[in-house]
Structure 1
Amino acid sequence: MPSTASTSSSNGTRPAGETSEARIAKALAHPLRARILQRLGERVASPGDLAVELGAPLGVVSYHVRMLRDYDCVELVRTEPRRGALQHFYKATARPTLDEGQWRTLPSGLRGELAGETIQELVTDLAAAADEGALEDPEVVLARTPLELDEKAFKKLNKLLAKTQEQVHAIAAESAARGTDGVFATELGLLHFKRAGNDS
């Protein structure tokens, strides 16, 4: 039978008073760690599961999962015996999100990779929902709004979307506090970007 556990390993070398945002920034500083944290934010998984899904060596994935645990970004939720070994299953304890300033500190290549993966996952989930007819629900919200903005307006809109994201998580927390009866999975995607051709 699977055993359950809940641990949060702290790294004794981490600076005292380090914020959760700083830990997430460090977690996202490596592309593979960022991908692992993103997956563990969606579901519980073992390093073995993640290695297969991400096409990375098990030893490397296990190392980065331990790093995420030391950053208090993931926690062990259960162990299961499998093929003569004990498999460890983790989930994310921190949302892999950064504010504008922290996002800017990431290498440009990593920002592009994270953006590409997020968009691809959104497209995949949209396709699955469409196949099930979920997009025919009259309560679905769908909008596309091309804009022409100056830099000040662009940043102002970004701040508004950041506040909206905070409110989204607050609403989700309220729902969780009411219990699991009648709960169903939904997904919200927020995109605001400078369109191609602005330099031409």
Structure 2
Amino acid sequence: MSAAKKRDVHRTIGSVVAHPLRSRCLTRLSEITASPAELAIEFRKPLSDVSYHVATLLKAGAIELVGERPVRGSIQHFYRAIPAPCLDTRENAELSLEGRLELARLTTQLATADATIALEARTLNRRPEAHVVRIPMVVDDDGWGELAELYDEMVERISAVRAASEERRGDDGDGGIPITAFVTFFERPAG
């Protein structure tokens, strides 16, 4: 990736999570479809502020317009976050490089927004079992393959835990602990 392209990606992700309210909007729109007016009420923030941040998210490609409804002489717009699918190595390999980069961009935006909100709410590491770990390393091809297998297994197990938890919680969904599992390993540029 060229230095200019890298700056564009960092600028895009940075613009999405640069403001706490924007992070809250993105995270909430990853959970529900809503209008800026509904988010403003939920967050107890001025509609003009929320609308500005929603427009920024739309321009960055992090959310999409999914509906419109006439309300008292104007049009109310409804948005949702563009979902970042959870792919295993085989499915990921079927994407083009550009497709993989776009998926990584969306996933990173959502995860960074979630982490920003959790840091501000002081829930990110409230539970001692929570993990926030960064392990920079250099591996050979075998090590890369071992990590790929490990991450595929981890994603599979995380999905199984989610399904079992949803079943235990039942239809009402009460009593759950909202979490984000952000599973990643990637090649860094040399140097």
Structure 2 SS opposite 1:178: helix
Q: For the structure 1 residues 136 and 169, does the alpha-carbon distance in structure 2 shift closer, same or farther, using more than 3 Å as the test?
A: closer
Q: 1:54 aligns with which of 44, 58, 61?
A: 58
State the TM-score, normalized to the length of structure 2.
0.56
Q: Cα deviations across residues 87-131 of structure 1 (Å, max 9, x unaligned)?
A: 9x8999x98222323322322222212212221221221111111
Aligned partners of 1:40 and 1:90 also within 8 Å? no
Question: Per-residue deviation at 1:80?
Answer: 9.6
Give me the whole-angstrom Cα distance separating, in 2, the residues matched to 1:131 and 1:48. 22
| Secondary structure of 2:92 counterpart | helix
Residue in structure 2 matching 1:98, options 84, 87, 94: 87
CA pair 149-44 structure 1, distance change in 2 beyond 3 A: same
Alignment of 1:28-67 (within 5 A): 42-45=30-33, 53-55=57-59
Q: Tell me how many residue pairs correspond in the alignment.
A: 140
Mapped partners of 2:68, 2:86: distance in 1: 30
Residue matched to 1:193: 186
* TM-aligned CA distance change 1:90 to 1:135, over 3 Å: closer
90 and 163 in structure 1: CA distance in 2 versus 1, 3 angstrom threshold: farther
Question: Residues 141-181 of structure 1, C-alpha deviation per residue, up to 9 Å, x if partnerless?
Answer: 12222222211220121111111111111111111111234
Report percent identity of matched pairs: 27
TM-score, length-scaled by structure 1 = 0.54
Instruction: Return the alpha-carbon distance in structure 2 between the equivalents of residues 106 and 43 of structure 1.
Output: 25
* Corresponding residue of 1:139: 129
Which amino acid in 1 is paired with 2:116? Answer: A
Structure 1 residues not aligned, in runs of 5+:
1-38, 66-78
Distance in 1, Cα, partners of 2:68 & 2:188 = 48
Selected match of 1:163 from 132, 153, 166: 153
Instruction: Write the distance in 1 (CA, Å) between the matches of 2:154 and 2:96.
Output: 26
* Alignment RMSD (CA, Å): 3.8
**Aligned counterpart for 2:111 among listed residues 119, 122, 125:** 122
How much does 1:186 deviate? 0.4
Deviation at 1:140? 1.9
Q: Which has the higher helix share?
A: 2
Gaps of 5+ in 2: 1-26, 38-53
- Secondary structure of the residue aligned to 2:161 is helix
Aligned residue identity for 2:119: A
